[in-house]
């Protein structure tokens, strides 16, 4: 398999923050809004450099989404920033009507998604956001895997005209995607080619999938690792091409099994190319407080869980 090296762990939210600052310099229409989490969202550099284009809305997410939608009328490209929970569940109807149905060019940027938020616990560990967002017509849904990809995605969505949900996280996490890797919305990224099993991974779980790939290789199993950073539109062609070759599938994501990436892939395969599939995701359960790595273990999202899923699905071929 292709070897990926951790170039130094960094939080994906810092990729967002750095990109936002760059965007501010590149594009005078980029405007940022934040609901009292500027430091956590790493938006402080943008706020300092471009005070006239930074809007502090206070703890009022519904108003933030509405203001962002209004700013597009006038040609602005608003980036809203708050945690994934407050970016989606709290404001679903505002996003549905004022952003998605109205097809406004709003970029909803969400940090602290998933279990790896850690100690704050289930109230903040959003595990349903990909599902909620992908169900909305007009919405593009992106979940990058590391610092560099988050940075590239943040910049890429400015050139996409339409609503986008961009999801990233809190912890320092291995950074392994080359900084110059182009980010193509809706295009799956082949990380390591294989022939026995297709592993489709998104977000933080991509690194875990690569680690699982190494272990499987030691056992003589050739796993194909594909990074699905764009949940919607799903790169169906890449999924089907890989499954045609391997004949079985594992999906992995830091999200609820219901409504997540695996759910999208299963829907595609059921209609176009039925194949055995296992899903490594949270199974209909709220999270809890703890260290990110301990939580991933407890909820079945660790490297050995992916290995076990691959071995299980291989037997079902």
Partner 1 sequence: MISIEDLEKQATQVRRDIVRMVNGASSGHPGGPLGSADFLVALYFKIMKPDPAKFTMDGVGEDLFFLSNGHLSAGWYSVLARYGYFDIHELATFRKLGARLQGHPATAEGLPGIRMSSGSLGQGLSVAIGAAMAKKMNNDEHLVYCLMGDGELQEGQNWEALMFAAGHKVDNLIAVIDFNGVQIDGPNEKVMPMGDLEAKFEAFGWKALPMFGNDMNEVVNTLKKAQWYTGQGQPVIILMTTHMGYGVDFMMDNHEWHGVFPNDEQTKKALEQLNETIGDY
Q: Which two tokens stand for residue 259?
A: 């409504």
Q: Choosing from 61, 224, 253, 278, which is the catalytic residue?
A: 61
Member of 32, 47, 55, 130 binding partner 1 (CB under 8 A):
55
- Least distance in Å: CB of 192 to partner 1? 42
Which x/- pattern, by CB under 8 A, does the window 205-224 give for partner 1?
--------------------
Stretch that binds partner 1, among 68-76, 118-126, 175-183, 252-260 (CB under 8 A): 68-76
Rule CB under 8 A: say whether 65 interacts with partner 1. yes
Q: Which is nearer to partner 1, 60 or 244 (CB)?
A: 60
- Positive/negative CA dihedral, 95, 119, 200, 280: negative
Member of 26, 27, 49, 93 binding partner 1 (CB under 8 A):
93
Closest CA to 183 of 10, 33, 15, 34: 15
Instruction: Outline where DSSP puts E strands in 133-171.
Output: 140-142, 164-167
- What is the C-alpha separation between 192 and 168, in angstroms, rounded? 23
CB proximity list for 39: less than 8 A, separation 6 or greater: none
Rule CB under 8 A: say whether 161 interacts with partner 1. no
Residue for token digits 């952003």?
A: 99
- What is the C-alpha separation between 12 and 84, in angstroms, rounded? 13
Rule CB under 8 A: say whether 47 interacts with partner 1. no
Mapped onto helix, strand or coil, the DSSP state of residue 272 is helix
Find residue 251's DSSP bridge partners.
200, 279
Q: Which is nearer to partner 1, 103 or 258 (CB)?
A: 103
The number of beta carbons lying within 10 Å of the beta carbon of residue 232 is 17
Q: Which is nearer to partner 1, 138 or 267 (CB)?
A: 138
- Least distance in Å: CB of 101 to partner 1? 5
- Least distance in Å: CB of 267 to partner 1? 25
Indicate if 61 belongs to the active site: yes
Stretch that binds partner 1, among 36-44, 65-73, 216-224, 237-245 (CB under 8 A): 65-73
Q: How many CA atoms lie less than 13 Å away from 228 in the CB half-sphere?
A: 30
- Least distance in Å: CB of 129 to partner 1? 20
Residue for token digits 């404001």?
A: 91
Enumerate the active-site residues. 61
Site for partner 1, rule CB under 8 A: 31, 52-53, 55, 57-58, 60, 62-76, 78, 93-94, 96-98, 101-103
């Amino acid at each position: 398999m292709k070897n990926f090296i951790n170039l130094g762990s960094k939080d994906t939210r810092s990729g967002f923050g750095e990109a936002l600052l760059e965007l501010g310099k590149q594009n005078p229409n980029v405007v940022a809004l934040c609901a009292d989490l500027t430091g956590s969202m790493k938006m402080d550099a943008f706020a300092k450099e471009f005070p006239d284009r930074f809007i502090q809305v206070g703890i009022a997410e519904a108003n933030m989404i509405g203001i962002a939608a209004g700013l597009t009328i006038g040609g602005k490209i608003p980036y809203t920033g708050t945690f994934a929970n407050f970016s989606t569940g709290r404001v679903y109807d505002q996003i549905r009507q004022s952003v998605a149905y109205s097809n406004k060019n709003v970029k909803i940027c969400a940090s602290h998604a998933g279990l790896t938020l850690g100690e704050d616990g289930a109230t903040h560990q959003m595990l349903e956001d990909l599902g909620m967002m992908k169900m909305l017509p007009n919405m593009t849904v992106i979940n990058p895997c590391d610092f560099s990809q988050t940075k590239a995605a943040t910049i890429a969505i400015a050139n996409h005209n339409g609503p986008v949900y961009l999801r990233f996280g809190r912890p320092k996490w291995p950074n392994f995607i080359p900084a110059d890797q182009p980010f193509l919305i809706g295009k799956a990224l082949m990380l390591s080619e294989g022939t026995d099993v297709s592993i489709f991974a998104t977000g933080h779980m991509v690194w875990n999938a690569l680690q699982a790939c190494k272990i499987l290789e030691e056992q003589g199993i050739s796993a194909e690792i594909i990074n699905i950073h764009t949940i919607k539109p799903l790169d169906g062609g890449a999924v089907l091409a890989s499954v045609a070759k391997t004949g079985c599938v594992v999906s992995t994501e830091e999200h609820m099994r219901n409504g997540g990436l695996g759910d999208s892939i299963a829907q595609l395969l059921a209609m176009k190319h039925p194949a055995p599939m296992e899903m490594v995701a949270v199974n209909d359960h709220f999270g809890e407080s703890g260290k990110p790595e301990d939580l991933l273990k407890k909820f079945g999202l660790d490297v050995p869980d992916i290995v076990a899923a691959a071995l299980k699905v291989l037997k079902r071929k």
